Structure formats: structure tokens, C-alpha cells
Structure 1
Amino acid sequence: MTTTRTLIADARRILSDVPQEALGVDKISRWRAPRIVRVGAAWHIGVLLIDESRVLATAEVLRAADPGRRGYTAESARARAERRAQALRGGFTAGETVHVGWEEIDVDAVDRGSSSGPLALIDGVPSVRWSSTGGYMPLEGYLRERIALLRGDGL
């Protein structure tokens, strides 16, 4: 039986020459404006972020940018612009992709039969739920497909 841990280790090996995307966390202080600071990097594989030692569930993905001076038709657009500016203030370069709000996945719990984030062991097969309303699909095929797209092999 192939384990979740083995599939992730294989993915890391295959991705070793592929650029990673930034991981950030919110930083709030009394003396500075809110910002998002760099805490690492990971490969973005659909609903998963895989770094050298962890597997994370994706959440908010943004690009660092100056919000400029614009009128906003919606408060949500203003909020997104402010989040992009927070990443810029935190030291990310303009246009850089940043992942924020991610959560660590317990791969060992999945291999023991539990679920963690979008991963679960379904009928003994490591599986992933690729959308909150979708069903589970085998993790092996999901990783193969997503990695091929990321590497440009599947185009």
C-alpha cells in the first residue's frame, strides 16, 4: 500500500528543480502598519502547499502590489487591494505570489486512517478533496496531474 507520506516524498523529489512560491503570515504591531511577512516557500500543488518538511492546505493566495489611488465599487475590492499592499510592506516584491492563512496537514494522521485538511484515507487509498463541495479523488493521480501542469509536461 502506498502511503500519503511516500506520495508526498515522491512529489518533493520530482519538484526539486521547480521554483517555489512564498509563504507569508500576518504581522501586526503597535508601531507599524499591518503587513504580511515571509516565513518560507512551498510548491503550490492545487489545494496543497508542499515545502521541504510539511504539507499545508492552501487558503488565501495574493500578489504583492501597490494599491495605488483608485475608487472602489466594492468594499471587497478595497480589502483585496489592502492585503496586496500588506504583502508589499512586508518585503515581498511587486507581483510576487504569496500564500497566507494556510494550515498544516497531519500526514501521519491521514496514513492512520483519519483526515486532515483536504486529505483523507478513503478505503485505504490516500485521497484529496480538491474542492469544498467536491468528492475525494486518489492523491496519487491528483499529484501526478498537478505536477505535470506545474512542470509544463501536461500542456
Structure 2
Amino acid sequence: MTGAAPLIDAARARLVDAPRERIGELQEGRRLLGIPRAPRIVPRGTAWHLGVLLVTDDGILATGDIVRARAEVRRGFAAESQRRRAELAAAAARGGVDEGETVHIGWRPVDLERLDPASAPLALRDGEAWVRWSAAGGYMPLARYLDERVELLRHPPERA
């Protein structure tokens, strides 16, 4: 067992009363009688969102995309990326996510036994767990990162 598992377990204990967010999985629409159905985001549970990590009751996930559900409406878009975000927001609504609620998709499980910096935001250096808090950022000790993120989740800044 690496140095990350005890830190994650301690964070879970401190997060018991903190709000959770949904995690989901995008399912492309199947054909029904030859007619394609629209894609939807299917709920897969909940997790505490701690920056680049999603902490579930029994695992750790690396965050992917974050979508806020909203009803599908026709509108023009200046960019293809805006269109894709609107499609994902509508897919979340079709999957049963309440309007305005956040859902995480595209997440990846993190294996705490094999911390591989190429595939996860966590790494092990000299027996200590570290987290890479952004793609361009450096690493910081996981203990300090979790302390900051748990505190922010439990006591968000005013008007955040």
C-alpha cells in the first residue's frame, strides 16, 4: 500500500457531511426501430469533488469533464466546442440529472497501488504521495492538497 491510501481514508472521514456531486457515464444513443436515439448521461454514483480528484466511498477517480444539466434548446453557436457542451448538458438532462445540477463524465479510476504519473494525477516520490493539480502545474504533497480541498469543500468562501 502506498502513502496515498491512508491520506484518502482520512479525507473521507472528514468529508462525511460535505456535499457530493454526481458522476455519470455518457451512453451514445442506440437505434430503436432504425431511428437513432439521443445520447444521455447515465448516473454512476456520487463523489466528493476535490479539484483534480473525485473521492467516492470506495475509490478515487481522476476528474474529466464537468457538465451542468439543462434542457435542450435550439440555438446558434460561434464554436463547435460550445455546441458539444450544450449537447452534453442536454444528455445529462435526458439521463435524469436535475436542471442546473453538476455531473462529472470522462473520469478515470486511479489505482492507489500503482501510482503512474503518466495516467493519473497522483505520483509517489520517496515514499510520499504527491498530486499534480493541473496539466501545466507542478506537483504538491497530497496531504497538503487534501487539507486545502477538504477545507474549501466544507467551508466555501462567501458567494462562491
The answer to whether TM tops 0.5 is yes
1:104 maps to a residue whose letter is P
Aligned-pair RMSD on alpha carbons?
1.6
2:104 maps to a residue whose letter is H
SS of equivalent to 1:109: coil
- Give the C-alpha shift of residue 143 in structure 1: 0.3
| Structure 1: tracts of 5 or more residues without a match | none
- Give the C-alpha shift of residue 153 in structure 1: 6.5
Work out whether 1:26 is the aligned partner of 2:26.
yes
1:6 paired residue number: 6
Relative to 1, partners in 2 of residues 1:5 and 1:154: Cα closer, same or farther, differing over 3 Å?
farther
Work out whether 1:118 is the aligned partner of 2:116.
no
Contact 1:145 1:154 in 2 (8 A): no
SS of equivalent to 2:54: strand
Residues of 2 paired with 1:140 and 1:82: CA distance? 37
Matched ranges for 1:2-151 at <5 A: 3-28=3-28, 29-31=30-32, 32-110=37-115, 114-115=116-117, 117-151=120-154
| Structure 2: tracts of 5 or more residues without a match | none
SS of equivalent to 2:31: coil
TM-score between both structures, scaled by the size of structure 2: 0.89
Contact 2:68 2:102 in 1 (8 A): yes
Residues of 2 paired with 1:20 and 1:153: CA distance? 14
Residues of 1 paired with 2:97 and 2:157: CA distance? 30
Contact 1:148 1:154 in 2 (8 A): no
Q: Once the two structures are superposed, what CA deviation does each residue of 1:32-83 show, in whole Å capped at 9, x if it has no partner?
A: 2111110111000000000000100001001001132322122211111111
Residues of 1 paired with 2:156 and 2:134: CA distance? 24
Contact 2:61 2:110 in 1 (8 A): yes
Contact 2:61 2:107 in 1 (8 A): yes
TM-score between both structures, scaled by the size of structure 1: 0.91
- The structure where helix makes up a greater share of residues is 1
What is the number of equivalent residue pairs in this alignment?
151
